[in-house]
Amino acid sequence: MLLRLVLAALCGSSSVLAADCTRETLQAGADSLVAAQAAGNPSLLKAADGLTYTENFKAGTLKTGILATALKIDHSRSSLDTTQCATYTELISASGTKPYVLGFQMHFSASGGIAKVDALTTAKGDWLFNATGTLNWAKKEDWGEIAAGKRDSRAVIQAAADAYCDIFANKSVVVPWGKPCARLEGGSYTGNGGPNDSCNVGIPSGVALVDRRYVIDETVGAVDVFLSFSGIPDSHEFRVEGGKLRFVHTLTVMTARSGKSKV
């Protein structure tokens, strides 16, 4: 806090970003995203002027994107990155007419408005898609706050994510597997919620996971990575506890690559 005040005094306007990027601002922005999605009304978003929007890594508009469709929100969870002024929101709509699982990275402007929204949308036809399964498992997991003295640094959290992402192309990489650890991929779960769940249960070879964009929240040990999975738009989100992987959630937009519309 003192450092921020000193920086504010020294650097003038560039410090505005740090000063305004509070957890409250980020949470309010993430809440406005969930409200917009529930209503199918993108104007509910706390947007900054000139907001840019991508969907499945392609430039788009809010009006023609997923936020214009009202969805029943069965579950949402947001992590807040006060260092980058960014958020990640996982959103599950399992009980509506057309189920979806969505991931949103958002970046905020110095004034606290949302300047950039990057959405990933998965639905029937995407990798292991089963929103009911996603919802069931996601609700059982504990992504709650980690006691201040037990939190990992941003570097440790990101390193755990990077090791997991790197092993797809390099089997010599040492991944900090936690025990237990479970992977929720689409709606499919590698564990059963028990103490012996393992994430080290098979990873494809020879795939480079590149163009990684991170949102990190140390308070909950979470890092979300938007990446290109051999050209397929993908999100890998991790919960890290004590430097080790506890949960992995993936969204893989198969329908974006084939150009096929979701059915």
Ligand X SMILES: *[C@@H]1O[C@H](CO)[C@@H](O)[C@H](O)[C@H]1NC(C)=O
- In the complex with ligand X, the residue whose CB is nearer, 65 or 180, is 180
Output the smallest distance, CB 179 to ligand X, in A.
Answer: 10
Q: Report how far Cα 96 is from the mean position of its chain's Cα atoms.
A: 22
Q: From the list 42, 99, 112, 133, which residue makes contact with ligand X (rule: CB under 6 A)?
A: 133
Given the structure tokens 């929007």, which residue do they identify?
Answer: 53
Peptide bond into 42 cis (omega under 30): no
- In the complex with ligand X, the residue whose CB is nearer, 133 or 221, is 133
Stretch 147-166 residues interacting with ligand X (CB under 6 A): none
Give the CA distances from residue 60 to residues 157, 242, 250, in Å, rounded to whole numbers and listed in that order: 31, 39, 23
Peptide bond into 180 cis (omega under 30): yes
The span from the CA of 159 to the CA of 141, in Å, is 22
Output the smallest distance, CB 102 to ligand X, in A.
Answer: 18
- In the complex with ligand X, the residue whose CB is nearer, 90 or 118, is 90
- In the complex with ligand X, the residue whose CB is nearer, 4 or 139, is 139
| DSSP code at position 254 | H
Output the smallest distance, CB 93 to ligand X, in A.
Answer: 14
- In the complex with ligand X, the residue whose CB is nearer, 40 or 193, is 193
Among residues 229, 228, 140, which one has the least CA distance to residue 182?
140
Size of interface with ligand X, in residues (CB under 6 A)? 11
Output the smallest distance, CB 245 to ligand X, in A.
Answer: 16
- In the complex with ligand X, the residue whose CB is nearer, 151 or 244, is 244
The span from the CA of 233 to the CA of 57, in Å, is 6
DSSP-assigned beta bridge partners for residue 151? none
The CA radius of gyration of the chain, in Å to the nearest whole number, is: 18
Output the smallest distance, CB 121 to ligand X, in A.
Answer: 19
Stretch 162-221 residues interacting with ligand X (CB under 6 A): 170, 172-173, 187, 194-196
Stretch 73-132 residues interacting with ligand X (CB under 6 A): 130, 132
Output the smallest distance, CB 140 to ligand X, in A.
Answer: 11
Within 8 A by CB and 6+ apart from 58, the residues are 256
Give residue number: closest CB to ligand X: 133
Cβ distance 131 to 92 under 8 Å? yes
Residue numbers of the site for ligand X (CB under 6 A)? Answer: 130, 132-133, 136, 170, 172-173, 187, 194-196
